[in-house]
Amino acid sequence: MFKIVKREEMAEGTVILNEIEAPLIARKAKPGQFVILKANETGERIPLTMAETDPEKGTITVIYMVVGKSTALFRDLPVGSGYQDVIGPLGRATHIEKLGKVICVGGGTGVAVLHPITRALKEAGNHVTCIIGARTKDLLILEKQMKAASHDLRVCTDDGSYGHHGFVTEVMEDILKQGDVRLVVAIGPVPMMKVASNITRKYGVKTMVSLNPIMIDGTGMCGGCRVTVGGKTRFACVDGPEFDGHEVNFDELMLRLQAYREDEKVCYDAYCTLHDA
């Protein structure tokens, strides 16, 4: 068992943080890499990009939104209990180098994935502007941490309840207009990454996105996570999860993420009924 040593609820309980004992993974993991978690014997294997690692303590941290049965199962694991299986670190680490002016754009739980990357980019000597957003103020996560990890933090909410009233991509475009931006890292819901990539393409700014497609093994064996990048089929688990946003076929990815939508609903509804009873 991989013990949960810390658990936090964020964004009105819709987003959960788990710090998990996994010393071998913690020792090796780098920003941008992911793990696969499985709650119990009958559970599904779920890939999540790590939000934090502590090699000394031997722990890794994942932050996820509760969207279906598997994440609901994760949510219901108390501190002291744990995951039956945690596998990793998987995928390629983010390529970190000193480029100059960099923008990190995060939406939803993508902010959690963005956090270690932002910090590493700052530590590498880049000037990092960070833009994070959520639907409304109470759903915003990791504001304090992102502020510390970057030079300049901008916050957006769709309903205007906090920060800029509008999308993160609007703020990003304003900064792009000022010029000199060498890299954009955009991590969040697929539509957000698609819009961000379309905008940066106009400005000719290199853009990195982190993809989270459906996956089984995470080691290149099943091909379930295949995405089209630059017209070629790539496996997000071993070739990614980060890709050049200008090359990714986001429409295909969005469709593929819906593959089991009905099955997921059956599973989730049954779990909720059981849970409520």
Does 247 engage in binding with other proteins (CB under 8 A)?
no
Beta carbon nearer to other proteins, 102 or 229: 229
SS3 labels along 13-77: HCEEEEEEECHHHHHHCCCCCEEEEECCCCCCCEEEECCEEECCCCEEEEEEECCCHHHHHHHCC
Does 178 engage in binding with other proteins (CB under 8 A)?
no
The only residue of 49, 53, 70, 210 in contact with other proteins, by rule CB under 8 A: 70
Kindly state the DSSP code that residue 231 receives in the 8-state scheme.
Answer: T
Beta carbon nearer to other proteins, 29 or 149: 29
Run of H or E residues at 153:
strand 152-157
The only residue of 42, 177, 273, 274 in contact with other proteins, by rule CB under 8 A: 42
Query: Taking CB under 8 A as the rule, which mask of x and - marks residues 1-40 in contact with other proteins?
Result: -----------------------xx--x---------x--
Beta carbon nearer to other proteins, 178 or 273: 273
Q: Which residues ranging from 221 to 240 are in contact with other proteins (CB under 8 A)?
A: 221-224, 226-228, 233, 238
Query: 6-32: string of b/e by CB count within 10 Å (b at 16+)?
Result: ebeebbeebbbbbbbbbeebbeebbbb
Beta carbon nearer to other proteins, 91 or 107: 91
Q: Which of 41, 192, 171, 178 is nearest to 114 (CA)?
A: 192
Cβ(37)–Cβ(45) under 8 Å?
yes
Separation CA 21–CA 1 (nearest Å) = 9
Does 150 engage in binding with other proteins (CB under 8 A)?
no
Q: Which of 209, 213, 215, 218 is nearest to 242 (CA)?
A: 209
Tell me, by CB under 8 A, how many residues bind other proteins. Answer: 42
Does 93 engage in binding with other proteins (CB under 8 A)?
no
Q: How far is the CB of 35 from other proteins (least distance, A)?
A: 10
Residues of the shown chain interacting with other proteins in the complex, contacts defined by CB under 8 A: 24-25, 28, 38, 42-45, 69-70, 73, 84-90, 216-217, 219-224, 226-228, 233, 238, 252, 255-256, 258-260, 263-264, 266-267, 270
